[in-house]
């Protein structure tokens, strides 16, 4: 049985578990005969501690994945996929009101091509949005204070606090990873669509 290594640009448990859970969902479509290993390495995203736009979230996720691919090339590692994950905020205006949403993004590359995936989003209470966007407090610190707890980032995350644990940080990243991997495990649809245009 061949081994497939999926490198993830983080050592945080919710992110690694999200990738493991996602791979369990689509492994039979990607390669049913492979044994999968999820390997976490800490790499820099190149963006701020709490990205505040989708563009910045996408850049952070991509830069993490590309840093992993570079790391593998430099060390002669034969890893098959590189996953960058980035969580943060997106601010929109609706009827003259600021709406701030928490999002989780993934970027997956095999070293040749890459694709993005995103979770849904959950709206932040205005008081929490002000702490992060106007006072510059890191989201992980602000959510701990907001919820009266510590270490939330490595547990249910802000997602869990805001959704009363119906959606956790791990689950949001799992969805983003499944979406980002879609062109790899469902390539026939993506190739057919490309050929039709």
Question: Terminus-to-terminus CA distance in the chain, angstroms?
Answer: 38
Among 78, 75, 132, 124, smallest CA distance to 103 is for 124
Q: What is the pLDDT of residue 23?
A: 98
Alpha-carbon distance 89 to 125, whole Å?
12
pLDDT along the chain (197 residues), means of 10: 94 97 97 96 93 97 97 95 98 96 98 96 97 96 95 94 97 98 94 63
- The pLDDT of residue 1 is 76
Q: List, in sequence order, the alpha helices (H) in the chain.
A: 13-30, 54-74, 126-133, 139-147, 157-162, 169-185, 187-196
CATH 3.40.50.12170 fits domain 3-123+166-196: no
Per-residue pLDDT, 191: 80
What pTM value is reported for the model?
0.94
Reduced to 3 DSSP states, what percent helix, strand and coil does the chain have, rounded to the nearest 5?
Answer: 45, 25, 30
Give me the residue spans of the domains in the chain. 3-123+166-196
Q: Residue 52: what pLDDT?
A: 94
pLDDT of residue 125: 97
Pairing of strands 81-94, 97-109: antiparallel
């Amino acid at each position: 049985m061949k081994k497939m290594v999926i490198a993830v640009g983080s050592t945080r448990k919710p992110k690694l578990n999200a990738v493991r859970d996602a791979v369990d969902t689509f492994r039979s479509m990607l390669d049913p005969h492979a044994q999968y290993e999820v390997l976490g390495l800490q790499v820099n995203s190149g963006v701020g501690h709490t990205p505040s736009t989708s563009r910045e979230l996408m850049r952070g996720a991509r830069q993490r994945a590309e840093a992993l691919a570079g790391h593998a090339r430099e060390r002669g590692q034969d890893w098959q996929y590189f996953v960058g994950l980035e969580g943060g905020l997106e601010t929109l205006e609706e009827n003259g009101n600021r709406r701030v949403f928490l999002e989780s993004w993934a970027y997956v590359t095999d070293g040749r091509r890459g694709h993005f995936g995103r979770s849904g989003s959950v709206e932040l209470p205005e008081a929490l949005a002000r702490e992060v966007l106007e006072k510059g407090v890191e989201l992980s610190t602000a959510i701990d204070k907001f919820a009266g707890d510590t270490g939330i980032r490595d547990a249910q995350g802000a997602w869990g606090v805001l959704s009363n644990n119906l959606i956790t940080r791990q689950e949001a990243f799992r969805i983003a990873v499944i979406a980002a991997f879609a062109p790899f495990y469902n390539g026939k649809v993506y190739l057919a669509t490309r050929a039709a245009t």
